[in-house]
Amino acid sequence: MNIYVKLAYTLLGFFLVLNWGLLMSATLRKIVARVAGRHGIPFYQPWIDLLKNIGVRTTLSHGFMFYLGPVFRFTGAVGMFLFMPALFGSDMWSNFSFEGDIVLILYFQLFGMLGMAIGAGEGGHPHSAIGIARGLAQHAAIEIPMTLGIISLAIQYHTLSFTDIVAAQQGGIANWTIFTNPIAGVTLLLAALGAMGHSPFNLVKAPNEIPIGPPTEYHGTYLGVLMSSGVVLHVMEAALFMNLLFGGATNWVEFIIKTFLINFYSVFVGVVFPRFKIEQSVVWFFKVPMALGILAILIYSF
Amino acid sequence: MEYLNLGKISLLIGFILIIIGFWGILSQKNIIKIIVSFTILDTGINILIVSLGYIKGRTAPIIDASVPQLADHNVLNSIVDPVPQALVLTAIVIGFGVTALLLAYAMKLFKAKRTLEINQFNDLKW
Amino acid sequence: MSELDINDKVKEMLEKSAENAGSKNSEKTFVHPEDEEREVIAPDGSIIKVNPIYDYFSGKKPTEEKPSNGVVEKFLNWARSESIWVLGFGTGCGSIEIPPLMTPRFDAFRFGIQMRPTPRQSNAFIISGYLSVKTLKRVIRSYEQMPSPKYVLALGSCTINGGMYYDSYSTINRLDKYLPVDVYIAGCMPRPEALLAGFMKLKELIKEGKGEKANEYARNFDEYKANQKKIIKDWNMPDYNW
Amino acid sequence: MVSPIYIVAAALGVGFAIGVLGKLGKNFSGILTLLTLGFMTYVSSEWLYAFYFGDQVSTYVFTAGYKPPISINLLMGPQEAFMSTLINVIGLLGGIYLFFNFGRKGRNAFVVYLVFIMSLNVVIMTRDLFNLFVFLEISSIATAGLILIEKGNRAVGAGFKYIIATSIISSILLIGTIFAYFYTGSLNIDDLVKSDLTTTTGGLIAVFLILIAAILEMKPFPANGWGLDVYEGSHQGFSAVVSAATATASYFMLYKLLDIAGNSWDHYIAVIGAVTFIGANLLGVKQKFARRLLAYSSIGQLGLLMLILGLRTYLGDNLNYVVFGILLTNLLAKTGFFWLVGIVKAKTLKEWAIIRRKPFFLFLMGTFVFALIGFPPFPSFFAKWTFVMDLAANGGFVWIAVILTGSFLEAIYYFRWFGYAVKADDNYNFSFNVRWHKITPIILLTALLYIIGYLTAQHTELGRMINFIPLFFVLILFALDFLPVFIKNTIAIIGMGIYFYFIYPSLSDLKLLFEVIFMIGGILTLIAGYAYKGKRSGFYPVAILMYAGLTGLIEANTTLQFFFGWELMTAGSYFLIIRGKRSMPHALSYMLFSVAGAYAILAGISIANIGQLTTSLSIFNNIQYFPQWAYGLLLFGFLTKTASVGIHIWLPGAHGEAESDVSPMVSAILLKAGVYGVILALIGMSKSQYDLSSLTYILGWVGALTVLFGNISAVFQEDAKRLLAYSSIGQLGYIVFAFAIMTQLGWLTGFTYVINHFMYKAVLFLTIGAVVLRVGTHNMYEMGGLIKRMPLAFVAVLIGITSLSGVPPLSGFTGKWLFYNAVIEKGWYFQGVIVFLSGGVAFLYLFRLIQTIFLGQLKDNHRNVKEISIWFLIPIYTLLAGLMVFSARPQWVLQPLGDMIANYMPQNSIRWDGAYAYTAIGHWTGSGVMMTIGSVFLIVFLILKLSTRKAHKIKQFDIVYSGERPDRPDTTHVAYNMYAGFYKAVWPLTVPLAERFWNWMTELVHEAAGFTRRIYSGNGQAYMLHIVLYIIVLFFITIGSSI
Amino acid sequence: MKEILDRITPKYDLQDVSIKDDLQAYVVVEKKLAIDMVTYMRDYEGFSHFVLMSCVDWIEDNKLQLLYLLNNPEKKCVIGIKVFIDRENPSMQSAHHLWKQIWTYQRELREAFGIDFPGSPRIEENFVLEGWTDKPHMLRDFDTNKYAEETYFPRTGRSTNDPATYMRQKLYPNQPVTAKKNKDDE
């Protein structure tokens, strides 16, 4: 396929994902509101918020890295999208997934995180540093079930390529990894809770405690960029687990449904459970998820 | 009394002296007594040397009137082994030298601490 | 040291402390210890003078930030009016009226209103009730840190004329002398419904393009500042907190 | 040819003459004595020359016109010539050194000294047992007399103990002699040897008595309190002579007399020697006083000589080579050391800090220390090498362990002492003066050490292959040490450049890769040296010494060359590390671990050497006997250098406290030497016919745990350089783990990490080091906000940490991607998970590094700091360029590397298609990712920059602070104990078990030493008792059962 | 309680002892003996709990009255030690060494009444108000209304109603105004 056509499709895909992300966040918030008995925000609220943020007149700058923070974050989100095939079996929507495999995605998640951390750090706000320190610690803990699960999958499928893993799950629900390798599936889903960053693992931003952690100093356009990358990241995190566990998606509707459900799952857990402290969160990952992950590997290594 | 000839007696005496010497060195606290013990030890060794060279019925290895100077008689057969005799002379000299040095040291030690107790000279240890 | 010397020393010390005490009593200054100009030794041995207020803060005066032209601004104003992010800073007793706003009964979220924990991300400030001088200092700081355009809702009688605290030595009477107010919500206390009505009024104002009080603040900056400084005696911050 | 009898004659004659011509004055007597000593030296060295370069045969000299047994005869053979030359040289130099000390005591002192040297000569040469006794007594008496040239009570006490002890020993010898005579009728040693005394009981006792006397003369542990006191108590000028000359004579006496007993006593002698060697060195560990320490060391060396003698059957023809090597080194270095002690009047080891007021003395001391421990290029190095090789070849593994343990104990106290000399606080108000007659002999000895070391190397075929050119360069740099830093730096860089240019064509593959890392890395880090002012005394020789060692490793074709390079590198890096301000204890632990590692390597090589026809390095590929042990020891040795978990404790301090441009040298470059060794061993293992997978399995776990441990420890550091040091431990763990995988992918990962770690760790250490130079502190919480002051440094660190963390698109990800593939391909899942988990942990410390130093709040006292020096920026940005190239085009390096690895690891599990890499399970393109991310990044950046072009620039306190304002930068900066929450979760993993273990070991050794040395109560009588008991115990052990 | 008072009355020459009940008593002590007495009560009589310290402005007598309220946790009794000090340049011996919380009380009294406690730690610091320069605001001769009018831009046109009267009028306009007086109005 012509590279320009591909580029055009990729851009289109990204636009879709961005809007879906905004819509999804609104929907999820509305669901949370309904759970609480409220009416909730209008479904178009995220777009308005985005617009308003872009319309903010005062812009402050703490320095060069302060700019780069959101840039890193957004690039990270775009990269997550680019290096993962959006739809299975479609040459148009496979993005740039030919450039790398799961490992690339796993480590690319950190790209935005690191940039954001450094950008927020230049703001000089103590809460940024505290939030990031927590986030990194939690990330290190998430790494355990995540890696265990993915290695288990890699053993199962003998590949680290998304396309191949999704291909192996085609042909019916029974072929999905969550059913063929349930232990690894559960491990990854538990890791997903941490990766999505909803309660009980939301101590990075921890509203009401360290105002909102890293983005405390960000406002206006910066915040807009951060928000958009945030929603894209949410979709793509879900897409990651969708591809790994739930057979991927062959069309956009499936993509939307599956990513929504995976996100809904983490929001659902978040609504039920209160926030962990950092040491609780880290230790939590050392317990059940790690044990399950080890089991998942043991099953496949013998 | 066949066994207790002169050679054996002196051998025994030599050993006894050696043991007394060792005992003295190891048990006496006074440096002078230690030196005396050493000379006893030395003497014992000297006696030992001489007694080992002793052959019954022979005379000292000095060729003088006491040795029968017969034509068919090898002079060497009538004297004891001369080598130990020579050795013991040297050993005595050496022993003398050592004793002298020891006494000189004893003097120095006394000057240093006005005492001759060997326990007092343990500045160097560990 | 002889006894005599000790006596002399003690006497000297006593005199010195007496002097110090005297000077402290005579003119009371409000420079906090951490704001005093200080000297630090740089790693290369040179001495650096640090004046906290000037060195740590930008302290530039605010400038008017003109709205864009025509349709764009109208569109943006609509977005602003539909997305009012309120700074979560309860300044007085009225702040107890804000949480109900977020509960199922009143649910301000449906109007695009939500609380933000940091001034940088807020564009509305509810001065909830009486405002003591001490709080005013924090309010000014937070207000100035909000990016423009920004709006102030004054809640309760106390912000209008001092309310029941009109004769207190420590609470202000009129908020508009210190900050530009967009909407007053009268009452003591106004109920959440009143608050919502205030928000609606604010929305209208924004949509009409009248929500430019931040620029007014910049325009009359000196006047506001003079009023603020008149009552805040230990002014330990720059003139404008960015 | 002058007859050796003239040695005796001249000495006696002159002695008498001085007595007679006493009126002519002390100086005259002294000069006459020196002339005589010179003559004696001439005679013996003439013989020596004739033996080695002519075809002189051993000659008997008969006295009194009769043949033995009637008369006394002397033998002048090659060994005798050698020994007596040694004694005479030392005698002559000692005479010079002590010239005025003797002079103060009057002319008779000269006579005694002359007689002393003469008597030792006779002890060497005589073949008559009784004569031996006589001259032994003469030497004892002379010694006792000469002890008194030192003033004070201590010398007197020591002398008394000495004379009474030696008299007893001589008495025993005399009894033995007379018994021997009784049974054989001869006093001639040759006759005694022939007469086969050991067949009868009486003969056995005679031999026992003779030998026990000879052994006691060697001051065996523990019956040697009197010997210690002499070394310590007498004048150090004379102690030196006793330690060197008397020891030589005693050794030779034992050597001669041992023939009487045939081979039956070898074993006992070896055990006695071993006990003495280890015992004396163990007790030395606890010692605080310089003189007594040297005494222990001297006795330890005597024990080693006994050990060698006892093991002569293992050594065969090499006995003399080994003995000469050890003896010569000990003689020259120990004498020099004693004399140095005599000049530097510092009592305790700590007081030796004063020696660095005169740097040349420090150089001398360093030479002696390194010679005594057996570092190249000194003779003992080669001797020890031969010794160990021969022992292993004949199965003497226990003895190898004994020798290496003893040497290690010796290293402990010598390096502690040296560390004090180099680094301890020098706040003593006494000083020391130098007089020409005292220093000249020491300089001569030092020169001799180097020359003889060189000659020793040339003596063997293997030694001749060693490339000494880099060492000469080091010596030149020593000579040029007075020049300013700029010139020396230029010389060093040019020298290294030229050397690299010439050596480049001869290298390929693995060697080329590592040589590039060593040399190019070396040149780059040296460039940073331009930032320093002044002379930087002593830096360049040692830096080049390290690089000489490193390049020696690369060039090595034989095992000896390899070990030579290894030791040079260790020595050089030790000196580099100890230059740091507070690095004394760390340098010591570095050195001890290095020495232990080197000994392990030595042992490993010796086992590998068994049954080999060749000495080339290829023997690693074909180890025939005990391959598990050989590879295990080799790997252990190499892992000490890579600081794997458990033996890592030296690294954080050593790297953390080193100077700013030394840290990258020792971290980014030096650690790779260990990796190179590991690779060599693993190549060997891959080619071995044995199944060694258990070893690699263990290695894999060690690597994985090292990663985890290093990274978690790094998280909780407050000191930036220590953080990086722990990070290095972790990174080296990655490398070790990757190589342990033993597949093509694994090795490719390993090499990627080697290259990466070299670049980013050099960048990070250089940058942080330069920052530290500017801000004057290591503590991260004392820094902050420096991005405003040093943006270039910030960018360097940013790229460095991004790369290290493995975030795409930088080169760290290359390693991570390969790692995943390699681990899954190999099936080492759990190790892999530990490694990947640690990768996540790495983020914590990396973020901390950049956040607390460059971001956050700028501290008051750093408001005016400047950007880091341009001389640091040049190498940093050069390396960054390399890093970027490697990131953007990994295939340029990885493809040839893969082909190279295919030589060792035949599986071809990675396929390249242009910039695309494919393995069985994954795919990835470095350049593609780089380009994609780069363009997205750029676009987003431009958009954001455009939309925020009117941004107000605000200052550090313009932050929202919950309505308040920050008070001080220090209290607003989140830095100290940054990961407190994480610590609560993972603290069990941070318990310093290794430190505790090694501390416990240290305690144990010290307690053992402290307990044991109480037998030396200082009471002369107790020492006599020791001797007597020793004799009794030995009697029952040796011949008690056969009587 | 009585025993204790019997013991200390002669000791400290107590002028005015008022016993409220078995467990409560107030005494007036001379200024120079006050801290001594507090110390004594703490160390020998078991009044180890410092309850509070406060001040009353007796403007008519031109005195300030300090009160140290101590509690004996074992006997469960309370003693209030009153001290009268001059109103002009009031100053009192500091008792910060007895209980640490006295630091804070003394800071408060200094800010509110202008009483100086020489030697008390951090006495100079602000307690509640920030940068107060006027007369200490708790003195009775400080006119807070006047101060507020001068300082806080009072809004003109403000009228004040008595709530009770106003509401009565509003709710029951037919009833006479003078029907019943509220107790508060007296």
DSSP assignment of A156-217, as one string?
HHT---HHHHHHHT-SSGGGSHHHHSHHHHHHHHHHHHHHHT-TTS-TTT-TTTSTTSGGGG
pLDDT digits (tens, 9 = 90+) for D139-179: 999 998 888 888 877 888 888 888 889 988 998 998 888 88
pLDDT score of A210 more than 80: no
Domain match, D23 and D11 both: yes
Q: Cβ separation of C80 and A59 shorter than 8 Å?
A: no
B76 to chain D, closest Cα gap in Å: 14
pLDDT for the residue numbered D341: 87
Q: Does C232 contact E130 at a Cβ distance shorter than 8 Å?
A: yes
Nearest to A38 among C79, C107, C148 (CB): C107
Please name the residues in contact with A96: beta carbons below 8 A apart, sequence gap of 6 or more: A10, A82, A83, D928, D932
What was the pLDDT predicted at D101? 83
Site from C56, C65, C131 to mutate, D interface, most D CB atoms within 10 angstroms: C56
Contact E148 C167 (CB under 8 A): yes
How far, in Å, CA of D53 to CA of D47, rounded? 10
**β-strand pairing of D923-925 with D916-919:** antiparallel
Task: Among D938, D972, D996, identify where a domain stops.
Answer: D938
Q: Are residues D458 and D471 in the same domain?
A: no
- Would you state the pLDDT for residue A21? 92
Exposed (0-12), middle (13-18) or buried (19+): which is D775, by Cβ within 10 Å?
A: buried
| CB < 8 Å from A in window 129-188 of C | 147-149
Closest chain D residue to the Cα of A75, Cα to Cα: D937
User: Using beta carbons and an 8 Å cutoff, which residues of E are at the interface with C?
Assistant: 118, 124, 126, 128-134, 137, 142, 144-145, 147-149, 151-155, 158
| Residues 6 or more apart whose Cβ sits within 8 Å of residue D515 | D500, D503, D504, D507, D551, D554
pLDDT value for C27: 45
Helices (H), D777-910: 791-805, 811-826, 829-854, 870-888, 890-902
Of C56, C145, C241, the CB nearest to D956: C56
Chain D contact present for B49, CB below 8 A: yes
pLDDT > 70? residue C2: no
Q: Which residue of C has its CA nearest to A127?
A: C118
Residue D65 has pLDDT above 70, yes or no: no
> Is C201 an 8 Å CB contact of chain E?
no
Is D367 in the same domain as D494?
A: no
Burial state string for D212-229 with b = 16 or more CB within 10 A and e = fewer than 16: bbbbbbbbbbbbbbbbbb
**Is C138 part of the contact surface with chain E (CB cutoff 8 Å)?**
no
Judging contacts by C-beta atoms under 8 Å, the chain C residues touching residue D964 are 138, 141
Q: What is the distance in angstroms between the Cα of A52 and the nearest Cα belonging to chain C?
A: 5
Q: What percent of chain D shows pLDDT beyond 90?
A: 10
Chain C residues with beta carbon closer than 8 angstroms to that of D864: 42, 46, 48
Tell me how far apart the alpha carbons of residues D83 and D328 are, in angstroms, rounded to a whole number.
10
Render pLDDT for A252-262 as a digit per residue (tens, 0 to 9): 898 899 999 99
pLDDT at residue D271 in the model: 92
pLDDT band at B2 (very low <50, low <70, confident <90, very high): low
Average pLDDT over residues C164-171: 86
Residue D232 lies in a domain: no
In this complex, which of C34, C58, C119 lies closest to D967 when CB atoms are compared?
C34
Q: Note the pLDDT of residue E158.
A: 78
DSSP state of D786: G
**pLDDT exceeds 80 at position E186:** no
Domain boundary among D76, D110, D127: D127
* D225 and D1022 Cβ atoms separated by less than 8 Å: yes
Q: Which residue has tokens 């599986």?
A: D907
Helix (H) / strand (E) element for C48: namely: strand C47-50
The number of C-beta contacts closer than 8 angstroms across C and E is 64
- Minimum CA–CA partner of A102 in chain D: D922
A155 CB neighbours in chain D (<8 A) are: 824, 829
Same domain flag for D754 and D877 = yes
Contact A140 D840 (CB under 8 A): yes
Q: Is D991 on the interface with C (CB under 8 A)?
A: no
Whether residues D493 and D635 fall in one domain: yes
Average pLDDT score, chain C:
82
pLDDT digits (tens, 9 = 90+) for D670-714: 888 889 998 888 888 888 888 888 888 898 999 999 998 899 989
What average pLDDT does chain D have? 87
Contact between B123 and D229 (Cβ < 8 Å):
no
Residue D148 to residue B108, Cβ atoms within 8 A: yes
Model pLDDT for residues D569-584, shown as the tens digit of each residue: 998 889 888 888 888 8
Both tokens assigned to C150: 């920004």
> Average pLDDT in the B67-83 region?
68
Percent of chain D with pLDDT over 70: 99
Same domain, D566 and D538: yes
* Helix segments in D2-128, DSSP class H: 5-20, 26-53, 78-97, 99-105, 107-125
CB contact under 8 A, C43 and D863: no
Q: Do C56 and D955 touch (CB under 8 A)?
A: yes
Q: CA-nearest residue of chain B to D163?
A: B102
- pLDDT at position D773 over 50: yes
What are C61-120's pLDDT values in tens digits? 888 888 888 888 888 899 999 999 998 888 888 888 888 888 888 888 888 898 888 888
Question: Quick check: C147 and A56 CB within 8 A?
Answer: yes
Question: What pLDDT does C11 receive?
Answer: 62
**pLDDT digit string (tens) for D337-374?**
888 888 888 888 888 888 888 888 888 899 999 999 88
D996 at C interface, C-beta within 8 A? no
Which stretch of DSSP H or E encloses residue E105? helix E101-113
Chain C residues within 8 A of A59 when measuring between CB atoms? 147
Determine the structural domain holding residue D42 and report its residue range: 1-127
Domain ranges of chain A: 3-301
What's the structural domain count of chain D? 3
pLDDT, one tens digit per residue, over D273-293 is 999 999 999 998 888 888 889
Interface test with A, best of D924, D935, D976 (most A CBs within 10 A): D924
For chain C, the chains sharing at least 3 beta-carbon pairs closer than 8 angstroms are: A, D, E
Does residue D182 sit within a domain?
no
Inter-chain CB proximity E148 and C166 less than 8 Å: yes
Q: What is the mean pLDDT of residues E107-114?
A: 89
Model confidence at A157: pLDDT above 70: yes
Q: Residue C13: pLDDT above 60?
A: no
**Mind listing the domains of chain B with CATH numbers?**
6-120 (1.10.287.3510)
The pLDDT score that the predictor gives to residue D215 is 92
Q: Could you tell me if D475 and D556 lie in one domain?
A: yes
Considering only CB atoms, which chain D residues are within 8 Å of C139?
963
At residue D600, the pLDDT reads: 92
Query: Do chains A and B touch, with touching meaning 3 or more CB–CB pairs less than 8 Å apart?
Result: no
Q: Which chains touch E (3 or more CB pairs under 8 A)?
A: C
Q: What length is written for chain E?
A: 186
* Inter-chain residue contact C231 with E129, CB threshold 8 Å: no
pLDDT in tens, D581-634: 888 888 888 899 999 999 999 999 888 888 887 888 888 888 888 888 888 999
* Residue D661 in domain: yes
Q: Is the pLDDT of residue D330 over 80?
A: yes
Strands in E44-172 per DSSP E: 49-58, 63-72, 77-86
In a domain, D963, yes or no: no
Interface residue D860 vs chain C (CB under 8 A): yes
- Chain C residues with CB under 8 Å of A41 CB are 109-110, 112, 114
Q: What is the pLDDT of residue B123?
A: 79
Boundary-marking domain end, from D107, D127, D147 = D127
**What does the pLDDT average to over B36-55?**
86
Looking at the fold, whether D790 and D925 belong to one and the same domain comes out as yes
Identity of the residue in C160, C171, C233 whose CB atom sits nearest the CB atom of E131: C233
pLDDT in tens, D712-759: 989 898 888 889 889 989 989 999 999 988 888 888 889 999 898 889
Per-residue pLDDT band at D1003 (split at 50, 70, 90) = very high
Predicted pLDDT of residue C23: 45
Q: Which domains does chain C have, with CATH numbers?
A: 99-231 (3.40.50.12280)
Q: How confident is the model at residue C24 (pLDDT cuts 50, 70, 90)?
A: very low
Residues D426 and D558 in one domain: no
The predicted pLDDT at position D1000 comes to 93
Asked if residue D77 has pLDDT above 60, the reply is yes
Looking at residue D986, its pLDDT comes to 87
| Residue from the list A59, A122, A158 with its beta carbon closest to the beta carbon of D948 | A59
Q: How far apart are CA D667 and CA D657, in angstroms?
A: 12
D856 plus D805 within the same structural domain: yes
In sequence order, the 6+-apart residues with CB closer than 8 A to the CB of E70 are E38, E41, E42, E47, E49, E50, E51, E78, E79, E80, E81
C70 at A interface, C-beta within 8 A = no
From the list D878, D891, D877, D879, the residue with the least C-alpha distance to D928 is D891
Instruction: Classify domain E2-180 at the CATH class level.
Output: alpha beta
pTM exceeds cut of 0.90: no
CB-nearest partner of B122 from D134, D159, D1018: D1018
Q: Are residues D441 and D551 in the same domain?
A: no
pLDDT at B71: 61
State yes or no: pLDDT of B47 exceeds 80: yes
